Amino acid sequence: MPALKAGDAFPQSIIFSYIAPKPETAEITACGIPTKYDASKEFQNKKVVLVSVPGAFTPTCQADHISGYKAKFNDLKAKGVDQVVVIAYNDPFVMSAWGKANSIQDESILFVTDDGTAFSQSIGWTLGERTGRYAMIIDHGKVTYAENEPGKGVTVSGADAVLAKL
């Protein structure tokens, strides 16, 4: 499958893994049980921002990328975004802990795993063995924005760039 672009339908059969935030697993050391997140199905009924980062807890991903989405979540919501879904190559336990470390206690921002980087590889947006740094807006199953970072840093995949396209 080639890289996705505005106007494309979000592909079918895209499944990520995650641990749903729950009160009983709210502590950062609580594990929870990974479940499947059928992105193809979930994205049909929502406006979603899909954000991919090379790795949880890494300096650019934490300080420059995810922090922007946390800070601008209300602005994104005001533009009709139902959910931000953050993907990385890390396993569901690491992604869950990263969400908890960022004080995310609900499903407004989900931290999910691109299992084996299958999705990112399918669109050609990886960084070596890791997921690439990119962002997409998917509006009820249709891609309306998709940009892969051209180099180091956060430009076209940051919250401000996404907000400008909503």
List all residues 6 or more positions away from 66 whose beta carbon is below 8 Å from its beta carbon: 51, 53, 86, 102
**3-class secondary structure, 163:** helix
Catalytic residue among 61, 84, 85, 154: 61
Is residue 110 within 8 Å of residue 17, measured between CB atoms? Answer: no
Please report which residue ranges of 33-153 form alpha helices under DSSP H.
Answer: 39-42, 59, 67-71, 73-78, 92-101, 118-122
Strands (E), the chain: 15-18, 35-38, 47-52, 83-88, 109-113, 126-127, 130-131, 134-139, 142-148
- Quick check: is 31 catalytic? no
Which residues carry out catalysis? 61
